[in-house]
Amino acid sequence: MAILPDGEHVVLICDRNHEKHCDRFVDEKNSAIDKNCRDVSETIVAGSMRYLCRYTMRGASSLGVFDAEIDGDKVTIWGPNGKRQYDKSGTWGSLATSNQALANNPATAQAKVGDAIAQTNLGVQYDQGSGVPVDHVEAAALYRQAAEQGYAVAQYFLGYDYFVGQGVPQDYKEAAAWYRKAAEQGDPHAQYNLGSLYYAGQGMTQDYTQAAIWVRKAADQNDAVAECSLGSFYEFGTGVPQSYAEAYFWLDIGAAVAKGADHDTCLKRRDDSASNLSPSDLSKEQERAAKWFAEHQAKPLQ
């Protein structure tokens, strides 16, 4: 995640996976915070591949109701629910034009000397038009520079760009190759998306067993969409032995944190699985899910 200037506001940008993390910190019910979440991707197979939340905190100098301390390229913010430190991106101070923002952006200079994180951050800015003009081709080029250095986040973004044909020609094989590189480093989004490609047979031979293996890796890291998908795999015996008990377990966990249409679908599938369990088996899986969820909520996916 990063904090970016937005005229007279400061914007905290979170991806789909950080949304819960940000909500707990910034307290979204606070009237001084404008929250706007949206998919910035197409819906693919079982879920969205890129998702951003923008928390706009009024007041560029004090971050509205928060106290902040800027130290080099880091920003420490004290909010109502605790303290967090974030990377600082963009131009701070008075509103600048796009060209001024680009020239003064610390990520620009760092990206030029090969800093993979800076290259990725700058690529995100080009993708979103945050302080610079929207340029998906430039964004993809920056992701590639960082990805070739082994940076998993950039590998994931580049894989996404190849999947949808954003800034590069659409190429499922290239998408799968870059997703795999990030997935093998433990990136849960890449793991889930690689599993989705195996499920659909896009860029590779269709393989439900491999789909389940990679989706399971993401689910084990508390990715809600992956948890719901894995539950459905168990419900129908897709790539795994059919088991209503395992289906209920994963669907119950996923339904607790999934949002929107994902939540509704996950909840329905969970209830369908529950209807096929005996009262004692259902109680056992409910206890198991409650224990697992409590343990993983204490260590949310970062």
The full set of domain ranges for the chain reads 1-88
Lowest mean pLDDT across 41-45, 175-179, 181-185, 289-293: 41-45
**Cβ distance 177 to 191 under 8 Å?**
no
Token pair for 35:
């929250």
Given the structure tokens 């004692």, which residue do they identify? 280
pTM of the model: 0.66
State the Cα–Cα distance between residues 47 and 124, nearest whole angstrom.
21
Q: What is the band of 34 on the pLDDT scale with cuts at 50, 70, 90?
A: low
Main-chain phi, psi angles of 76, to 5 degrees:
-105, 125
Q: What is the band of 85 on the pLDDT scale with cuts at 50, 70, 90?
A: low
**Helices (DSSP H) in the chain: which residue ranges?**
19-26, 98-104, 106-112, 116-128, 136-147, 152-164, 172-184, 188-200, 208-219, 224-236, 244-257, 260-274, 279-297
**What confidence score (pLDDT) does residue 126 get?**
86
Q: Is the pLDDT confidence value at 262 over 60?
A: yes
**What confidence score (pLDDT) does residue 123 get?**
87
Higher pLDDT pick, 154 / 102? 154
State the Cα–Cα distance between residues 81 and 31, nearest whole angstrom.
15
**Mean pLDDT across the chain:** 74
Main-chain phi, psi angles of 235, to 5 degrees:
-60, -40
Q: Is the pLDDT confidence value at 185 over 50?
A: yes
Higher pLDDT pick, 18 / 173? 173
**Cβ distance 249 to 219 under 8 Å?**
no
**Which residues have C-beta within 8 Å of that of residue 220, sequence separation ≥ 6?**
none
**What confidence score (pLDDT) does residue 122 get?**
84
Q: What is the band of 120 on the pLDDT scale with cuts at 50, 70, 90?
A: confident
Q: Is the pLDDT confidence value at 81 over 50?
A: no
**What confidence score (pLDDT) does residue 130 get?**
72
The residues with which 77 forms a beta bridge, in sequence order, are 68, 84
**What confidence score (pLDDT) does residue 62 get?**
31
Q: What is the band of 10 on the pLDDT scale with cuts at 50, 70, 90?
A: very low
**Which residues have C-beta within 8 Å of that of residue 184, sequence separation ≥ 6?**
none
**What confidence score (pLDDT) does residue 183 get?**
96
Q: Is the pLDDT confidence value at 242 over 60?
A: yes
The helix/strand/coil state of 143 is helix
**What confidence score (pLDDT) does residue 295 get?**
79
Give the strand pairing for 67-71 and 43-44. unpaired
Higher pLDDT pick, 124 / 52? 124
Nearest Cα to Cα of residue 127 among 118, 138, 115, 119: 138
Q: What is the band of 200 on the pLDDT scale with cuts at 50, 70, 90?
A: very high
**What confidence score (pLDDT) does residue 175 get?**
96
Mean pLDDT over residues 176-195, rounded? 95
**What confidence score (pLDDT) does residue 302 get?**
33
